[in-house]
Amino acid sequence: MSLLNEVSRLGLDLGPEALSALESLPYNHALELLEATQQKYQGGSLKDPTNYICATVKRGYVPRSSMHTTGAIGGKGQISQPPPPAAPRGSNAEAAAQALINTKGMQKAEEAGLSLTDEAVQALLTVPASHASEILEAVAEKHTELRDPSNYVVATISRGYVPRSEAGGSFGKGGGFGGGGGYGGGYGGGKSGSSLYESIYGRGRPGFDGPYGGGGKGYGYSAPIGGGSSYGKGCGGYGGGYGAGPSYGGSSYSSWGGKDGGKGSRGGLLPEDITTLEKSVLDLNEQDLWAGQEISPATLLALRCIGLDDALELLQNLQSKGMSKGSKGIGNLNNYIQAAISNILRDGPGGKGVGGKNHTGNQSRMKAEELGLVLDESTFETLARMPLRRATALIEQASQRQAEGEDPNIFIERALA
């Protein structure tokens, strides 16, 4: 029976380019490809049989019957990693090849037009079909982001692939909710050296061990205050891989999955009730204005000992110093902040601490003059004893009240009562 008759028998509507591609194959290979195409088309996983056949033949179609010796998905490439374990032989090889063919991962790889070298296919045959399917699914999903999918597959299996079901926690992108190792859930944490998503989601620097998985490498996803683990020097405690970086109470603080876990990004695991102060600290740490120094959790707690306006103004002044002088002006960031907090607590809002307070009222006076506001000297003295941010807000509100006929001095006095 001719190929054209087979196409008609299978109910496929193929263009001339697909028929031409099929004719370049041995008859039994072309027939096998036609049957596979018809199954995919009827199953709804294939929209354009013509394009699928052309792409499959172009990249080098290898029949399933010889998959265990030549590879299921043909292609060219170079392998730079050590060779994987030897593939099974004989009847075991036939069974492994058949199991791999029927996996969801193989179907996705074919739909994506993924081309793998024979070495990569042989490597896939050395692991259980479920593991190979996971690898193929992920590579198919992100194959456009991988420089060499075949090289990645071989390298992943050579290192000893750890499947999702055996990792330290529920699955998440780059893992580490309850532990640093493997595919633990969450977004920022560590991973094992054989984690599938290393090349897909980017490499990070080493993370720290958690209680439910081995230490590994961070991905740089966002993470809340807490870094690598809850206590200690980035290992042990609960939530080992949470932030792809050091621990909450450790020697180095990583709030956004940056530094030890690669560059962080917004949008990770943050509590819904995160405060304005916590956000400000995260933002400031993310800017890295002090040569790797970051505001520690202990300093964050100390900032809560003063008013929110005082704390935010202190952080704003720090940002200005960091952007203008960098690390030159501040030797130890946390000591500097805590000294400023101590001065504020000792001297009050109008004290001469290092927090950059509105000591003399000159800035408030200038703001009032700018708005055409007439204030008593006693009012200026009151404004000088509060954070500049709050004083400025009161002056602006008082200016509006004055325009409405109200005495601005009385308004400010009443607002502070």
Domain contains 352: no
Is 381 inside any structural domain?
A: yes
- Fill in the amino acid letter for 81: Q
Quick one: 167 and 215 in the same domain? yes
Residue 176, domain extent? 162-270
Q: Are residues 167 and 207 in the same domain?
A: yes
**Tokens coding 278:** 């916590």
Q: Of the ranges 244-248, 299-303, 314-318, 392-396, which one carries the lowest mean pLDDT score?
A: 244-248
Residue 353 counted as domain residue: no
What integer pLDDT is reported at residue 184 of this predicted model? 35
- pLDDT, average across residues 14-18: 88
147 and 176 belong to one structural domain: no
In the block, tokens 């593991």 appear at: 131
* Residues 201 and 104 placed together within one structural domain of the fold: no
Q: Which of 53-57, 61-65, 313-317 has the lowest mean pLDDT?
A: 61-65
Q: Residue 295: pLDDT band by 50, 70, 90 thresholds?
A: very high
CA-closest candidate to residue 80, choices 147, 174, 127, 144: 147
Are residue 286 and residue 261 in the same domain, yes or no?
no
Report the pLDDT averaged over residues 272-294. 86
Average of per-residue pLDDT across 235-255? 35
Domain annotation covers residue 296? yes
Residue 99, in any domain of the structure: yes
pLDDT in tens, 96-107: 777 888 888 888
Mean pLDDT of 276-293: 86
Residue 211 pairs in a beta bridge with none
For residues 97 and 24, membership in a common domain is answered with no
Q: Which of 215, 248, 270 is the last residue of a domain?
A: 270
Domain for residue 357, yes or no?
Answer: no
Please check whether residues 83 and 41 belong to one and the same domain. Answer: no
Phi and psi at residue 217, to the nearest 5°: -120, 140
Of 161, 184, 210, the residue that ends a domain is 161
Check whether residue 188 and residue 144 sit in a common domain: no
Tally the domains of the chain: 5
pLDDT of residue 296: 93
Percentage above 90 pLDDT, the chain: 3
Give the mean model confidence (pLDDT) for residues 28-52: 83
82, 157: one domain: yes
101 within some domain = yes
Give the mean pLDDT of the chain: 68
Query: Model-level pTM?
Result: 0.29
Using the 3D structure, point to which of 161, 192, 222 is the last residue of a domain: 161
Same domain, 214 and 236: yes
Most confident of 88-102, 118-132, 168-182: 118-132
My answer on whether 239 and 287 are in the same domain is no
Q: Which residue has the higher pLDDT, 356 or 298?
A: 298
233 neighbors 260 (Cβ within 8 angstroms): no
Instruction: Say if 375 falls within a structural domain.
Output: yes
